[in-house]
Amino acid sequence: MKLPRRQLFHLAAGAAALPAVSRFAWAQTYPSRPVRLVVGAPAGGGFDIVARLMGQWLSERLGQPFVIENRPGAASNIATEAVVRAPADGYTLLLLTAANAINTTMYEKLSFNLSRDIAPVASITRVPDVIVANLSVPSRTVPEFIAYAKANPSKLTTASGGVGTPLACARSNHRDALGRAAGHPDRG
């Protein structure tokens, strides 16, 4: 490969400047103090466990504590608002879930704009939705389960993380197929 003299000069100048640039970048270490990781779900649940495992991993690698702060309520809007109101310095992070995206369509008067006020940093999980039933339920496939639910609407109960969660939305979409109302008997 033959480089023109001008390109070779630019490459050499860039290579010579690289050590000086890296010294400036080295002076800006992050984090230099504890980081808050806010979770919009109660302690002990799946999102909390992910946050605590990730916080521990980041603390070990970056040398600063990552403090997990659970702010459940309003389908994670309380946690999101707390992060939006915090200084935009990278020391208050939000464990964002699908519920946050769903909330932008469910709530008309949010005090924040998710796509404008929150900057994505990393994708850390992918969570599938599954249907599970007690072994006493005589169905082994989804069509069998739907048939059983239609025939026995008062014998089954369902649960989710609450209104606005992906599972609650999926259940709401399928309530007609199941022939029953999509209520929320649970909290958290």
For residue range 7-35, what is the model confidence (pLDDT) as tens digits? Answer: 545 455 555 555 555 455 555 799 999 99
CATH number, span 35-117: 3.40.190.150
What pLDDT shows up at residue 185?
Answer: 52
Pairing of strands 66-70, 35-39: parallel
For residue range 148-186, what is the model confidence (pLDDT) as tens digits? Answer: 888 887 787 777 767 777 777 777 777 766 665 444 454
Indicate the domain borders of the chain.
35-117, 128-188
For residue range 123-142, what is the model confidence (pLDDT) as tens digits? Answer: 888 877 777 888 999 999 98
In the chain, % helix, strand, coil (3-state, to 5) comes to: 45, 5, 45
pTM: 0.67
Q: Which two tokens stand for residue 170?
A: 């999926």
Query: What distance in Å separates the CA atoms of residue 186 and residue 72, rounded to the nearest whole number?
Result: 14
